[in-house]
């Protein structure tokens, strides 16, 4: 049998490597705002960017998208109004979006991965190593099954408009969530209405989720007990463990949930450390 020629060997090797090389195409650059992502793939920032228009700074309209901010900052330099509520990064009904490594500041919401149906949302999102600062409604809001939020830092969430509306460090919905090792500080009750709510982390409709090792401090100390460090609502089969809550009207709250386990959490400086409407177990190792 004749041996293969060098050209034939090279042809076989190049054919085998081509899918890998094609997949490893360099990330697309986000050079100005607003920016709309319409195709799957990797995108990145290469400088700080400012947005002052209407709508959202970065809008994702595709599945399987990774945005690496490379340590750069996106800033909103406009006016927040009832009709102008921009997000730094926004998506609706997409799946498998990864956002990492940057700062988002002064937006209505820093990151908003939205869904028309929380229970059946596509999800699969990952948000990590993001600092969301000086947002007006929520630092990070994610709706989607199987999503993970980890190692983020959210600070100074406060509304500039009066009226009835809530503020959240993180607001997360969907089954199979992991919310881990995030730092939330200084989330304030909105102005002008004592019925408003400030939550460090809210998990709503979060079946089979883990909320572990988060640090939440200075959720607004209000006479309204609805100012809570961590609240679990309409959840089932969740684990809440190793979280630290410092200075909040209520520390950890469980509402309308089923078969939750909370262990080894620490709350200090709260008017009420734990509120359990009977939908979570008694808990062990929780302080005080």
How many Å apart are CA 134 and CA 156, to the nearest integer?
5
User: Which region holds residue 63: left if phi is over 0, alpha if psi is between -120 and 50, else beta?
Assistant: beta
How many Å apart are CA 280 and CA 276, to the nearest integer?
6
What pLDDT score does 163 carry? Answer: 60
Structural contact between residues 174 and 121, judged by C-beta atoms closer than 8 angstroms: yes
**Residues sharing a CB contact under 8 Å with residue 105, sequence separation 6 or more, in sequence order:** 73, 74, 75, 76, 88, 131, 132, 133, 134, 135
Q: What percent of the chain has pLDDT over 90?
A: 61
What pLDDT score does 231 carry? Answer: 93
Average pLDDT of 68-79?
96
What pLDDT score does 118 carry? Answer: 59
Higher pLDDT among residues 74 and 223, named by residue: 74
Q: What is the dihedral of CA 106, 107, 111, 116, to 10 degrees?
A: 160
Give the pLDDT band of residue 1 (cuts 50, 70, 90).
Answer: very low
How many Å apart are CA 225 and CA 253, to the nearest integer?
10
Average pLDDT of 28-50?
97
Structural contact between residues 124 and 147, judged by C-beta atoms closer than 8 angstroms: yes
Give the pLDDT band of residue 16 (cuts 50, 70, 90).
Answer: low
- For residue 97, is pLDDT > 90? yes
Mean pLDDT of the chain: 87
Give the pLDDT band of residue 286 (cuts 50, 70, 90).
Answer: confident
What are 181-223's pLDDT values in tens digits?
999 999 987 555 566 788 999 999 888 999 999 999 988 655 4
How many Å apart are CA 240 and CA 16, to the nearest integer?
47
Is the pTM higher than 0.75? The answer reads yes
Domains of the chain plus CATH, in order, are 30-276 (2.160.20.10)
Nearest to 104 by CA among 79, 55, 66, 139: 139
Structural contact between residues 49 and 77, judged by C-beta atoms closer than 8 angstroms: no
Q: What percent of the chain has pLDDT over 70?
A: 83
What pLDDT score does 224 carry? Answer: 54
Give the pLDDT band of residue 8 (cuts 50, 70, 90).
Answer: low
How many Å apart are CA 125 and CA 145, to the nearest integer?
8
What pLDDT score does 225 carry? Answer: 55
**Residues sharing a CB contact under 8 Å with residue 69, sequence separation 6 or more, in sequence order:** 44, 45, 99, 100, 101, 102, 103, 130
What are 99-118's pLDDT values in tens digits?
999 999 999 999 999 987 75
- For residue 77, is pLDDT > 70? yes
The pair phi, psi for residue 87, each rounded to 5°, is -110, 150
How many Å apart are CA 228 and CA 29, to the nearest integer?
40
Give the pLDDT band of residue 20 (cuts 50, 70, 90).
Answer: low
- For residue 158, is pLDDT > 90? no
What pLDDT score does 194 carry? Answer: 62
């Amino acid at each position: 049998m004749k041996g293969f020629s060098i050209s034939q060997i090279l042809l076989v090797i190049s054919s085998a490597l081509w899918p890998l090389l094609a997949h490893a195409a360099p990330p697309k650059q986000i050079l100005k705002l607003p920016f709309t992502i319409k195709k799957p793939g990797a995108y990145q920032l290469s400088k700080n960017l400012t947005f002052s228009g209407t709508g959202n700074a970065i809008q994702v309209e595709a599945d399987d998208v990774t945005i690496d901010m490379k340590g750069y900052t996106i800033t909103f330099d406009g006016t927040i109004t009832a009709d102008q509520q921009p997000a730094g990064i926004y998506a609706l009904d997409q799946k498998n979006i990864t956002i990492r490594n940057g700062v988002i500041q002064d937006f209505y919401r820093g990151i908003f991965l939205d869904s028309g149906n929380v229970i059946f949302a596509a999800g699969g999102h990952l948000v990590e190593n993001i600092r969301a600062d000086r947002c007006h409604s929520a630092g990070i809001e994610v709706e989607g099954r199987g999503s993970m939020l980890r190692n983020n830092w959210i600070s100074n969430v406060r509304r500039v408009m009066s009226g009835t509306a809530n503020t959240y460090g993180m607001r997360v919905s969907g089954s199979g969530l992991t919310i881990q090792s995030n730092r939330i500080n200084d989330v304030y009750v909105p102005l002008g209405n004592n019925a408003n709510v400030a939550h460090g982390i809210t998990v709503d409709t979060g079946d089979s989720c883990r909320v572990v090792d988060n640090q939440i401090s200075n959720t607004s100390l209000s006479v309204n007990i609805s100012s809570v460090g961590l609240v679990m609502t309409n959840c089932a089969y969740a684990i809440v463990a190793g979280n630290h809550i410092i200075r909040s009207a209520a520390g950890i709250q469980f509402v309308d949930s089923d078969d939750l386990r909370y262990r080894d959490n620490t709350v200090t400086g709260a008017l009420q450390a734990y509120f359990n409407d009977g939908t979570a177990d008694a808990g062990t190792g929780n302080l005080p």
